[in-house]
Structure 1
Amino acid sequence: MHHRWLLLLACFWVLFMLMVASKFITLTMKSPEGYGVRQGSQTILPEVEKITVTEGKKLQIESQPSAEPQKSMSHLDLIHKERLELLQTVCRNGSLGNLSHAIISKFVLDRIFVSDKHKILFCQTPKVGNTQWKKVLIVLNGAFSSIEDIPENIVHDHDKNGLPRLSSYSISDVHKRLNSYFKFFIVRDPFERLISAYKDKFVHNPRFEPWYKHNIAPVIIRKYRKDRSETKGGLQFQDFVRYLGDPNHKFLDLQFGDHIIHWITYVELCAPCEINYNVIGHHETLEEDAPYILKKAGIDRLVSYPPIPPGITHYNKTKVEQYFSKVSKRDIRRLYERYEGDFKLFGYKEPTFLF
C-alpha cells in the first residue's frame, strides 16, 4: 500500500513538471508584440503616428542588433558614388558630342517635378518606371493621401495632380532649388528603353494616346520605310530605328512636339552634365535603388515606392537582340551614335550586335 502511494505521487510530480516546461516553452516561442512596423505602407502618416512608428522602428533595431544593414548601406553608397564619378568623368570628355546644354532650357525644366515641402526635384525619364515616382511625389505634395487613391488618368494630368514643374518658377527660384534641393532621376539600358517606348506607343498603344498610331507613325513610315509598297502592320521597329538614328531627326522632333520625350536621350531630358544630381538610379537595380533614394531624400518613413513585380526590372538581353536582329548594322550604328552618351554616362556596355 505504501509503495502504491509513492508511485501515484511520483506520477503527479512528473505531470506537474511537464505542465511547467510546456508553459515555459510557449512563453519563450511567442513573438513580442508592438514593435513590428507594417512594411510597404504607401500612405503619408499623420504627425502623431509618424512619431510612434519611428520609436517602434528604433525598438525593433535595438532589440535585434546587426551590422548587416550598415554594411548594405555602405555598399550602396559606394555604388552610387561611383556612378556620379563616372558621370562627371564622361561629361568632361571632349570627344563625345551632344553632352552639354549651353543653357538649361525650358524643355529640361518641364521634365523636372518639384516637392517644395520635402525639397526634392525629380527629372522624368519616360519608359523607366517614372509613373510610380510621380505617384510618390503626388502623395508627398498632399494632393492624395495614398498612392492607391490616385486615379491612373490623374497621374500625368498636371492641372490636377498637384505636381508642379520646375519651369513654373521664376529664374531665381529655379536656381535656388537646383542648388539646394535633393535631385534624382532613373536610367535604363538605352536600347531596351527604346524597345519599351516602341511597344507602348506604337504596338500596345493606350486608348487615351491615339495620336502615336494615327499621327506620328504614318509620318515616320512615309519617310523611313524602305519598302514603300509594304503598307500594312503599322510602324515597324526598323522604321522607328531609322528615324531615331537619322542625323536630321530634329525636323520631325519639332513636328512631334513633347511626345518625343519617350525616346530622346537622357542628356536631352535631364541635362546631367549641367545639373548636379544627388542620385542616379538604375532600372535594373530598382529594388535596391528605390529604398536608397527614399532614404537619401529623407522621406523613407513617410512613403514607400510601390511594389515591383518580380522580374520586371531584369535586363532582357534576348528580347533586345531579337528586336535588333531585323535592323541593319548601318542603322544600328547610326542609332548608337546618337545614344552613345547615354551608354557611357551611365555605365551601360556597347551592344555586342554592333560588330
Structure 2
Amino acid sequence: MGFPGTWMTESESLVYRVVPKCACSTIGQIMYFSDHGRFFDGDIHDATTGLHKWAQEASQPLIEANVKAHRSPAFTCVRNPYSRILSSFFDKICGIQRNGKRYRGNLVPLIIQKYGIDVGGEDGRAEFDQIASFRRFLLFVRDTIRWKKPMEPDIHWSAMSGHISTFIVNGGRYDRIFFTEKFNEGMQSVLNLASLRHQVDLATIPRFNESEGHGPARAHPVEAYFDDLSMHLMWEIYRKDFQLFRYDFDNPANKLPKGDIDLAEVHARLGD
C-alpha cells in the first residue's frame, strides 16, 4: 500500500500527506519554495521534478524510508467539511477544468442524468438553482461513499479521515495536523519543526487557489445549502471528520473548529 498522496521536499525537510480541497496547492508551493527559493511555475500538482511525490515511482523508496524512520516532521491540513464539500461541488462538478473539459469526462453528465442536478449549462455560466443542485449532488456523494454506486468515491469528496488514515495505518506518524481556517498559524508551527534551505515568510506568500475561477461563484452563505436532510447526510458521510477535527456539525455557519485536534486520538482511531 505504501504512502499514497504523500509529498516530501527533495531535501527531506518536510513530509506532507495531501488532503484534497485543504490548501494543498499552497502547501505544495511552500514546500517547493523552501527547497528552491522560488515557486513552481504552474500548478504544483503538475510538477514532476523538484518535489518528491508518491505518484512518482522514483520517489517511493525515498518517501517510504523517511516516513518509516520518522526522519522528518510529517503533517497534514484539514478543513471544515461543510465548506470543503461545497468547494468540491463548485470546482469539480460545476466548473470547467484546466484542460478545458468537464471533470472526469462523463461524470457530470452521469450526475445530471441520474440525480437531476444543474451545473449552469455547457460552460457553467448560466443561472441555476445552486442550493437545489448541491443538495442533489450530496445524495450522489453519499451513494458513492456508502455503496460505491454509481461509481467509487472521488478523492475530492471522500472523507478527510480516510485520506489521513492511510499514512498512519502504513506506518507513519503525524507531528502536526492543522486547520485551513487558521492557515498561517498552523503552517508556521510546521515550519518551526524543520530545517529549511530557504526561510518562508507566510505573511507574504500568495495563496495558490488553483480551483478558483473554474466554476460559478457561490451565491449564498454556507449555511443556506444545508437543510435538515443535508445535515443528516453530512453526518452519515463525515461523522469522523467532524468528531476528530473538532468542527461544529450543529452550525454550518461556524467555519472555525471548536477545539484543538488531539493527535493521540487521531492516531488511535485512524490507526486500526
Question: TM-score over 0.5 for the alignment?
Answer: yes
5 Å-filtered alignment, 1:1-355, equals 105=1, 109-142=3-36, 145-147=37-39, 150-153=40-43, 155-159=44-48, 161-166=49-54, 168=57, 169=59, 174-180=64-70, 181-208=72-99, 210-212=101-103, 215-225=106-116, 233=128, 236-246=133-143, 248-254=146-152, 260-271=154-165, 274=169, 275-299=172-196, 302-305=199-202, 306-307=205-206, 319-325=221-227, 329-352=228-251
Q: Distance in 2 between matches of 1:289 and 1:197?
A: 23
Given that residues 294 and 300 in structure 1 are in contact (C-alpha distance below 8 angstroms), is that contact kept between their aligned partners in structure 2? no
SS in 1 for 2:248: coil
Cα shift readout 1:195-252 (whole Å, capped 9, x = no counterpart): 111112223434426232852111123233389xxxx959921221001122544244
Unaligned runs of 5+ in 2: 119-125, 209-217, 253-272
What runs of 5+ residues in structure 1 fail to find an aligned partner? 1-104, 310-315
Equivalent residue number for residue 26 of structure 1: none
The amino acid across from 2:45 in the alignment is H
Verify the 8 A CA contact 2:34 2:197 in the aligned structure 1: no
Letter in 2 for 1:110: P
Q: 1:170 to 1:129 in 2, by over 3 A?
A: closer
Which residue of structure 1 aligns with residue 268 of structure 2?
A: none
What is the rounded CA distance, in whole Å, between the counterparts of 2:62 and 2:82 in structure 1? 37
Structure having the higher helix fraction is: 1
Partner SS, residue 201 of structure 2: coil
Instruction: Give the whole-Å Cα distance in 1 for the aligned partners of 2:147 and 2:12.
Output: 39
Q: What corresponds to 2:261 in structure 1?
A: none
CA distance in 2, matches of 1:136, 1:119: 12
* Structure showing greater Rg: 1
Change (3 A) 1:332 1:218: farther
Question: What is the Cα-based RMSD across aligned positions, in Å?
Answer: 3.4
1:135 deviates by: 0.9
Residues 221 and 239 in structure 1, CA contact (< 8 A), matched pair in contact too: no
Return the alpha-carbon distance in structure 2 between the equivalents of residues 220 and 203 of structure 1: 11
Residue identity opposite 2:5 in structure 1: R
Distance 1:137 1:118 in 2: 10
| Separation in 2, partners of 1:322, 1:277 | 35
Identity %: 22
* Alpha-carbon separation, structure 2, partners of 1:273 and 1:237: 32
Question: Is the 8 Å Cα contact of residues 19 and 77 (structure 2) preserved in structure 1?
Answer: yes
Letter of the structure 2 residue corresponding to residue 324 of structure 1: F
Count residues in correspondence: 224
The TM-score, its normalising length taken from structure 1, stands at 0.54
Q: Which amino acid aligns with 2:68?
A: L
Give the 3 Å change call, closer, same or farther, for CA 237–111 of structure 1 in structure 2. same
